Structure 1
Amino acid sequence: MDLEILGRALSTLPADDDHPYRTGPWRPQTTEYRADDLEVIGDLPDDLDGVYIRNTENPVHPAQQGLYHPFDGDGMVHLVGFRDGKAFYRNRFVRTDGFLAEQEAGRALWAGIAEKPHRSERQDGWGARGRMKDGSSTDVAFHNGVALTSFWQCGDLYRIDPISLETLGKADWNGAFPFDLGVSAHPKPDPHTGEMLFFNYGTDAPYMHYGVVDSSGDLVHYTGIELPGPRLPHDMAFTENYAILNDCPLFWIPEALEAGKYFSKFHPDMPMRLGVIPRRGDGSEIVWFEAESTYVLHWTNAYEDGDEIVLEGFHQETPEPEDTGRGSIYERVFRALALDRMGTHLHRWRMNLRTGTLKEERLSESITEFGMINPAYGGRPHRYTYAATGVPGWFLFDGLVKHDTVTGTEERYALGEGVFGSETVMAPRIGSTGEDDGYLVTMTVDMNRDLSECLVFDAQRLADGPLARIRLPERISSGTHSTWAAGAEIPGWHTADRPEDALRL
C-alpha cells in the first residue's frame, strides 16, 4: 500500500467518550488519507471500473449542549476507486462553512438535532429548522462530472472531486442557487437524460418546492408544492415522465413549532399522500393519492406501467416506536433509528393516473432498508433491489439482501458477528448486458479485527460471499449513504496515466 496522510482535523471529543454513536463502530476519524495499490485478498475483477463513494456523519466536537445526535457529525466522504484491476482509497472531510468555522473556533458553534436551536452560538446555519449547521453529511450523488454531498434538513450542495475528494465549493447552478431553503438530501440524477431532480422543504408556505437541473448544471425548472403545513419529507422518486413527492403523516407538532420548538409526531389517523407531478410541471398540476398511514424514509425506484405509476420503497410498521423504559438512555432516545424498531419492509404502491385509485402490497417479510438498484434502471422497470439488514435495537447494518421483486425470492449474505456494513451500491461491469450483471460494493467496520475493508461481490451470486476484500488504511466510522460513478462518467478517467490526474486534464 502506497500511503500518504493528507491532514488531520482538530478534535475536542473526550478521551473517555462513552456515547455509542461516537464510539465502537461509530468511532469517528480525524485523519485524511491518500492510499494507492491497496492490498487485495481474492480476485478483483478488471471489468469493475469507477468509484464507490460513501458519506457519513463524523463528529469532531462534543454536542454544544451535551445532547449529541448521530446525525450531528460533519460530513466525511470515503472513496474506493477501481481501475485496471487495482484499487485506491481516499477520505476527506467536506469543507462546509460550518466545519471550517468550528475548526477555527475549536468547539461546536451550532445546536444539534436533539438540542434547543435558539441556544446556538451561531445563528447563520442552513437547515429547515433554522439556526442548524449544515454538515452536508447525509447523502452523496454524482451529477455533471462531480459528486454532490447534501444534508437531510436542507442546505447547500457541496461539489466534490470524484477522485481526490477535494471540496470544489458549493453548487450554484450558474447563479440560480442557493434558495432560501437550500436542497434536501437525495437529489435524483437521471442516467437517461442527464438531469437531476430535487426538492426542498421548510416552515413557511407553500412548505415544499420541486426543481430540475439539466445535464449542463443549469436550473431549468422550479415550482412550489402546496402542502397543508410544514412536513418532513426525506426522499423522492422519478419515472420517465414524472416526479413523485410525498406528504407523510410524521411531522413537526404545529403548536410546538409556533413556540419555536421542533418536536415531531406520527399521526396514524392521517393517510400518507403521494404526489405525482410532470417532470417540468407546475405545482398546480400535482395529483395526490392517499395510501395507508406510514412514513417512508427511502424509496428504491419508480416506473410507468400503462396508466399506473409504480413506486417501491420501505414501509414502516412503527414510524414512532414506543419508549418501553428499558435499556440505556441512548437505546431509548435513538430507538427510532433501528430498522427492527421501525419495522421496515420493502413495499410497492401502484397509482392509476386514469382512475385516481391506489393499490399497495408488501413485497417482503424481511426487515431491510437502504435499498439500491442498478443505476441504469433508475426511473425504469427494475427487478432487483439490494438492501441492508439491521442489528436489533441499533442503527447498524449486519448483512445484505438481494430482493427479486418479480419472484419474491431473496438471496442473503451475513457479515458476521461484530462486522457492520454500509449502504451497498450496484456497479454494472464494463459491457454489462443485464440488470444484475455487475458487482456489489460496500465498506465494512470489523470490530473483531479492528479494521475496515471494501468488499466486492458478484451481484448474481451474493450468497457465495465476496470475490475480493480490500484492506483500508484505518478502521472507518459506520456510515450511511453512498453512490457509484462509472469511470466512463468521470472526465479524463481513461486518458489520465493515474486516476488522480484525470480531472486535471
Structure 2
Amino acid sequence: MPEVFQAFHSFGLQKRMPMRFEADVFECEVEGEIPAELQGAYYRTGGDRQFPTLEDDIILNGDGMFSMFRFDNGHVSYRSRYVQTQRLKAEREARRRLYGAYRNKYSDDESVSNLPNRDNTGNTYAFAHHGELYALREDSRPYRLDPQTLDTLEIGEFGTLKSTALTAHPKIDPKTGEWWSYGVFAGGEPTTDASLHVFDKSGRLIRENWFHTPYPGLSHDWGVTREHLIFPIMPLTASDARLRAGGDYYQYDPDLPSKWGIMPRGGTPDQMRWFDIPGIVMGHVMNAYSEGTKVIIDTPCSPGNCFSFFKDKHGNQPAPAETITQITRIVFDLSKPDSEAVSLHPVNGALGDMPRIDDRFAMEKYRTGYFALRDFPQMGIGQIDWETGEVKVHELEGAASQEPLFVPRSAYSAEGDGFVLVAVDRMAEKRMDLLILDGNDVSRPPLATIKLPFAQPMAFHGCWMPA
C-alpha cells in the first residue's frame, strides 16, 4: 500500500501507464440518481503520452488529454480527445517522439527544433469563458476546442497581448465576468519578465502591465481580490544555462524564501510590495480576499519542495515529509512593516491539495472550500468551513480523489448549496468513477456514482459549462 499511496500523493512519482487512446462511452453506467439540476458538461484536461515517454519523464510533459462528462436529463456520456497541438501533429506525422524533456527545447529532435509553440500541450486546465472552451497551459497561449465534439480548433486570439504566457489558473470575476490572467517568463524565456493581463466578459483584452519578479521562479497560481492582486513566486528557479547543459527546467533552492508580491488591483506594478516567507512552497490557491488593511490568501503549503519531480540545487529529491501540503490561511497586514506583516494559520486536519470553491464567491470573503484530502492512510475529499474551522471528509478506501469541482444548484442558491463533482481513481480495479457529492456536506454518501470501465490519465483542472 505505501507505494500505491506514493503514486497518488505526488504527481511527480506517479507511475501509471499512459492511456494512448481516445474514448467514447455512450450512456455511462450510473449508481444512484443524477440530480435534475445538472444539465451541462464537466470538462477536464491532463497529461498523457501518445508516444513512449523518456526515462524519468514527468506528467507535466504529457500531451493534453481533454475529457468531457455530458449531463442530459439524468443521463451521462463520456468523451476524451487529444488536444491536437502542433507538436502532437508533428509526432504523429513522424510516427515517433520528437520532443524531449519538459520545457527544454535543446533536447528535441533537430527536425522540430524551431517550433514556436513547442511547450503548448494544453494539458493543465479546461477553462470556459465567453462561450469558448480552452485548453490552458501556463507557458503558452491556449488552444480553443469545440465544446460539443472536443475537436481542436486553433490557438486563441487575444488582440494586442504581448505576453506569450497565460496562467493555467485564471480568475473569473463573478460580478464583472472579467478574465484575470498573468504570466511569468512572459517573453518566452526563463527571465524575471512577467505580465498582468485582463480580458472583459466578451474576451477582449482591456489591460496589460509588465513587471519584474524578484527572481526567475515558479508561479503556478495566484490570488485576485476586490482590492488587490497577489503574485506568489516560489524558490524553484529556471535557467537557460542549465537547460543547455541538459538539466531540468526548474531547480529547488532551499536557501531562497518564497516571494509574495501584492499590488492594488487598480494600481500599477510600481506600487507592488514584496514579502518574504521562508520555508514554504505552494502550488494552488483556494481563494483570496481583502479585509481592511489585510489581504488573505488560502493555499495548500508544504515545508519543502512539493513539486517533487524537480531536484534541489544539490541534486537531491525531496523527502516525503517535505512534500506534504496543508491548507493554510496566509494573512498580509499591509499596515505593518514587512517583518511583522505576515502570519500563517494552518487548518488542522486539512492535508491535501487541488482546492476549489463555489466560484460565485471568488475574490471576496467566503465560507466553504473543497480539496483532495491526502492524509495517508486517510484519503478522500475534504470540505472546510472557514467560520468554524470544521473539516468534513468523504472517506475513500483503496482509492484517491482528483480535483473536486463545485456546481451550484442554481444561480441563486446559497454558498455551497449544490454538487461536488470529483473523479476518483479505483487503483485496484484500474478504472475511474465520477462521484456526485452534496456540496453542503461532502461526508454524506454519494448522490450518484458514474462509472468508467477504464482508468483515465491524471487530469489536473477542469470546469463546468451549463447547457
Q: TM-score range by the shorter chain?
A: 0.7 to 0.9
Q: CA separation in 1, counterparts of 2:114 and 2:172?
A: 29
Per the alignment, residue 454 of structure 1 pairs with 434
How far apart, in 2, do the equivalents of 1:289 and 1:345 lie? 21
Q: 1:139 to 1:304 in 2, by over 3 A?
A: same
- Residues 308 and 323, structure 2, Cα contact 8 Å, conserved in 1: no
Segments of 5+ residues of structure 1 without an aligned counterpart are: 1-19, 324-331, 488-492, 494-505
Deviation at 1:321, TM superposition (A): 8.8
Tell me the distance in 2 between the aligned counterparts of 1:26 and 1:125.
Answer: 29
1:111 aligned partner: 100
The worse-fitting range, judged by mean Cα deviation, of 287-296 and 50-59 is 287-296
Kept in 2, the 8 Å contact 1:445–1:477? The answer is: no
For residue 464 of structure 1, give the secondary structure of its aligned residue in structure 2. Answer: coil
1:226 and 2:191 correspond: no
Between 1:346-355 and 1:443-452, the stretch displaced more is 443-452
1:42 matched to 2:26? The reply is no
2-side partners of 1:267 and 1:99: how far apart?
33
Number of the residue aligned with 1:300: 286
1:329-362 Cα offsets, whole Å, 9 max, x none, are: xxx99768x7x55120111112223435222211
Q: Which residue of 1 aligns with 2:362?
A: 378
Amino acid at match of 1:118: Y
CA 1:333–1:287: 2 relative to 1, 3 Å = closer
Note the C-alpha offset of 1:233. Answer: 0.9
Task: Report what 2:121 is aligned to.
Answer: 135
Asked whether the 8 Å contact 1:25–1:478 carries over to 2, the reply is: no
What is the Cα deviation at residue 57 of structure 1? 0.3
Residue 81 of structure 1 deviates from its aligned partner by: 2.2
Match for 2:45 among 43, 46, 55?
A: 55
| TM superposition shift of 1:245 | 0.8
Which residues of 2 match residues 64-463 of structure 1 at below 5 A?
66-113=55-102, 117-121=105-109, 122-125=112-115, 132-152=118-138, 154-173=139-158, 175-177=159-161, 179=162, 181-202=164-185, 203=189, 206-252=192-238, 256=242, 261-262=247-248, 264-319=250-305, 341-356=322-337, 357-390=341-374, 398-417=379-398, 419-430=399-410, 432-463=412-443
Residue 238 of structure 1: how far off its partner (Å): 0.6
Provide the TM-score with structure 2 as the length reference: 0.86
> Are the equivalent residues in 1 in contact too, given 2:408–2:418 (CA < 8 A)?
yes
| Gap change, CA 1:126 and 1:407, over 3 Å in 2 | farther
SS at match of 1:185: coil
- Three-state SS of the structure 2 residue aligned to 1:480 is strand
1:263 CA drift (Å): 5.5
Q: Is the 8 A contact 1:321 1:341 kept in 2?
A: no
Structure 2 distance, partners of 1:71, 1:78, is 17
**Structure 2 contact 214–259 (Cα < 8 Å) conserved:** no
2:3 aligns with none
Query: What amino acid is aligned across from residue 372 of structure 2 in structure 1?
Result: A
- Worse overlay, 250-259 or 467-476: 250-259
Equivalent-residue separation in structure 1 for 2:13 and 2:346 (angstroms):
36
Aligned length: 446
Deviations 1:191-211 (A, max 9, x none): 221111111122465421111
Letter matched to residue 219 of structure 1: L
Q: Secondary structure at the match of 1:54?
A: strand
Task: Mark the runs of 5 or more structure 2 residues left unpaired by the alignment.
Answer: 1-9, 310-314
Does the 8 Å CA contact 1:398/1:421 hold for their aligned counterparts? yes
Which deviates more from structure 2 when the two are superposed, residues 193-202 or residues 160-169?
A: 160-169
Does 187-196 or 212-221 show the bigger shift?
187-196
Q: Equivalents in 1 of 2:37, 2:134: separation in Å? A: 25
Q: Summarize deviations over 1:95-126 as a string: whole Å, max 9, x none.
A: 1111111111111111122x964231122345
Question: Which residue identity does 1:345 align to in structure 2?
Answer: Q
> What is the one-letter code of the residue matched to 2:406?
M
**d(CA) in 2 for partners of 1:321, 1:94:** 25
CA contact (8 A) 1:207 1:231 kept: no
Q: Tell me the alpha carbon deviations over residues 441-484 of structure 1, each in whole angstroms, 9 at most, x when there is no partner.
A: 01223233343221101112322221101123543223222222
Residues 126 and 433 (structure 1), Cα distance of their counterparts in 2 relative to 1, 3 Å cut: same
Change (3 A) 1:39 1:256: closer
- Mapped to 2, the partners of 1:294 and 1:125 lie a distance apart of 36
Q: 1:231–1:251: 8 Å Cα contact kept in structure 2?
A: yes
The 1:91/1:391 distance shift into structure 2, 3 A limit, reads farther
Q: Distance in 2 between matches of 1:148 and 1:116?
A: 24
CA distance in 2, matches of 1:442, 1:277: 34
SS in 1 for 2:402: coil
- For 2:251 and 2:130, locate their aligned partners in 1 and report how far apart those are by CA, in whole Å: 38
Partners of 1:341 and 1:88 lie apart in 2 by: 40
SS of the residue 2:403 aligns to: coil
TM-score, structure 1 normalization: 0.80
Distance in 1 between residues matched to 2:134 and 2:81, nearest whole Å: 14
1:50 is displaced (CA, Å) by: 2.7
Tell me: CA distance 1:472–1:398, structure 2 relative to 1, closer, same or farther (3 Å): same
Q: Is the Cα–Cα contact under 8 Å of residues 197 and 209 in structure 2 kept in the other structure?
A: yes
